[in-house]
């Protein structure tokens, strides 16, 4: 029950936060156009990558240690906050060097410096403390506070291209508000004070950095792609690509939430009943396969309208790029079974290798792919990188976990997607609502007709709802 409550707390906070953040950025895109959007996305991506250096996996390390020994909370907070302040200083120094070296406009440099000033506040984001104590509702509230303040300041104060520095100031205000809230809850709920511990333990560096490398590689692949495109592309193309990546990362968050919730069950079954572990992976992959491919098909269909509504008619040229990125999310939704399976069973290093391979392939391909096909090529590079992650994670899961046969569960959803493509080809002049209906109806009917497991679940749900109605 507590697991479900924690998941729902995080889920509603994610939905509200993503909606507020996306609305704020969509507002900026409309005011600033592709060039201004490119400037904002470049600064935001640089900040997020530098933020990863400050994080260093200490969130997961601290939450894990607190869960094992709650009495160590104050000690861990003092040590981790101190180390993160040191890393924040070094990270901002890197930003200063980057600004000095890069040939950017004064406006772009100003935006980067204001945006990255939030690095000094990141150490006080104590979400890992409340994660360790299983107080996810506090984490959820802080997330909403942070993104809500960010969105409010952006919408109220950004009026033209010259005011883009306010986006960086809004990020600083949001992070500061969340940090103040976390510290207030730290004092109120846990009765502790912050006393910096001016030393660094070997276990903090060894375990924290190891845990954080996989997440860092994923983030370098995603946010680094925007930075790399910014170095090789025109400002206008950077705006197109940055907007598409913002949409991808926002939707990808729900893939992460699903596996964040599934991870404890995978770990428990692996250490308790390995047959049940394999059965859980099989059931989940069959369900996720249908949902991910159906959502991917809808994504492709609505991309043109979605990007025009969200960003304005100037961004319509990015439609094909956004359609390609749908494959990244679909692939991640499916290969997550292998990646998080490795994490749940203690093979974190193997999962880290898959993330590193994906990042290396993606970033290595982007300059060449962009040169050949523009922003579509950069999106294709991300797809290829995600395929590499899939293949490598499957290899490790097969070798270390004995995962076999689960890919067969994707055959039926792929058949259904093929039927969707053929149906839409027959009615090429169909309107957008008709295309969406075709996707939903064909996928729904096919799932019931050719997948016995889906049919049994549907009949069971009908029986449960029928019983509740009768009572």
Q: State pLDDT tens for residues 412-424.
A: 899 999 999 999 8
- pLDDT score, position 116: 93
The answer on 131 and 12 residing in a single domain is yes
The answer on 286 and 176 residing in a single domain is no
In contact, 329 and 258? CB cutoff 8 Å: no
Integer CA distances (angstroms), 323 to 212, 256, 302, in order? 30, 20, 9
- pLDDT score, position 62: 77
The answer on 274 and 140 residing in a single domain is no
- pLDDT score, position 6: 60
Dist. CA 240–CA 33, nearest whole Å: 9
The answer on 190 and 280 residing in a single domain is no
- Domain end residue (candidates: 200, 224, 240): 200
Dist. CA 59–CA 49, nearest whole Å: 16
Domain count, the chain: 2
The answer on 372 and 290 residing in a single domain is yes
Quote the domain boundaries for residue 467.
Answer: 265-471
Q: Does some domain include residue 457?
A: yes
- pLDDT score, position 394: 93
Q: What is the pTM of this model?
A: 0.75
Q: Does some domain include residue 229?
A: no
The answer on 147 and 17 residing in a single domain is yes
The answer on 466 and 330 residing in a single domain is yes
The answer on 422 and 277 residing in a single domain is yes
Mean pLDDT, the chain, rounded, equals 84
Low-confidence stretches of the chain (pLDDT < 70) are 1-9, 60, 64, 67-68, 196-201, 203-212, 260-261, 264, 460-471
Backbone angles phi, psi at 431, to 5 degrees: -75, 170
Q: In terms of C-beta density within 10 A (0-12 exposed, 13-18 middle, 19 or more buried), how is residue 155 classed? A: middle
- pLDDT score, position 467: 58
């Amino acid at each position: 029950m507590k697991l479900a409550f924690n998941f729902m707390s995080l889920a509603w906070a994610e939905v509200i936060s993503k909606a507020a953040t996306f609305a704020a950025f969509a507002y900026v895109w409309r005011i600033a156009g592709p060039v201004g959007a490119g400037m904002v996305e470049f600064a935001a991506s640089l900040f997020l990558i530098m933020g990863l250096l400050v994080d260093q996996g200490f969130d997961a390390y601290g939450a894990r240690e607190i869960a094992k020994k709650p009495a160590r909370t104050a000690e861990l907070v003092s040590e981790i906050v101190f180390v993160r302040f040191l890393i924040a200083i070094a990270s901002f120094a890197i930003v200063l060097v980057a600004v000095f070296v890069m040939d950017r406009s004064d406006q772009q440099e100003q935006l980067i410096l204001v945006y990255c000033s939030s690095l000094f506040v990141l150490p006080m984001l104590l979400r890992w403390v409340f994660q360790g104590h299983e107080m996810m509702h506090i984490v959820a509230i802080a997330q909403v506070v942070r993104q809500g303040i960010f969105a409010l300041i952006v919408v109220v104060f950004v009026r033209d291209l010259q005011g883009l520095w306010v986006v960086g100031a809004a990020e600083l205000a949001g992070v500061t508000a969340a940090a103040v809230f976390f510290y207030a809850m730290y004092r109120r709920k846990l009765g502790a004070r912050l006393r910096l511990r001016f030393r660094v333990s070997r276990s903090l560096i060894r375990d924290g950095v190891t845990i954080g490398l996989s997440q860092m590689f994923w983030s370098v692949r995603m946010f680094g792609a925007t930075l790399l495109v910014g170095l090789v592309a025109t400002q206008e193309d950077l705006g197109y690509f940055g907007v598409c990546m913002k949409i991808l990362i926002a939707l990808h968050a729900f893939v992460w939430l699903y596996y964040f919730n599934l991870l404890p069950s995978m770990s428990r079954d692996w250490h308790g009943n390995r047959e049940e572990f394999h059965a859980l992976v099989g059931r989940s992959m069959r369900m996720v396969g249908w949902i991910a491919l159906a959502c991917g098909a809808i994504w492709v269909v609505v991309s043109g309208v979605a990007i025009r509504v969200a960003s304005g008619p100037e961004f319509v040229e990015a439609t094909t790029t956004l359609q390609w990125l749908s494959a990244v999310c679909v692939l991640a939704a499916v290969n997550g079974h292998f990646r998080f399976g490795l994490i749940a069973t203690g093979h974190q290093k193997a999962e880290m290798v898959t993330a590193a391979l994906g990042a290396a392939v993606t970033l290595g391909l982007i300059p060449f792919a962009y040169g050949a096909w523009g922003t579509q090529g950069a999106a294709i590079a991300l797809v290829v990188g995600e395929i590499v992650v899939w293949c490598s994670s499957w290899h490790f899961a097969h070798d270390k976990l004995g995962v076999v046969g689960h890919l067969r569960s994707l055959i039926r959803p792929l058949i259904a997607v093929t039927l969707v493509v053929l149906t839409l080809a027959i009615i090429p002049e169909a309107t957008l609502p008709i295309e969406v209906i075709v996707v939903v109806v064909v996928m729904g009917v096919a799932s019931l007709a050719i997948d016995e497991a889906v049919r049994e679940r549907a009949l069971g749900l009908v029986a449960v709802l029928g019983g509740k109605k009768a009572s």
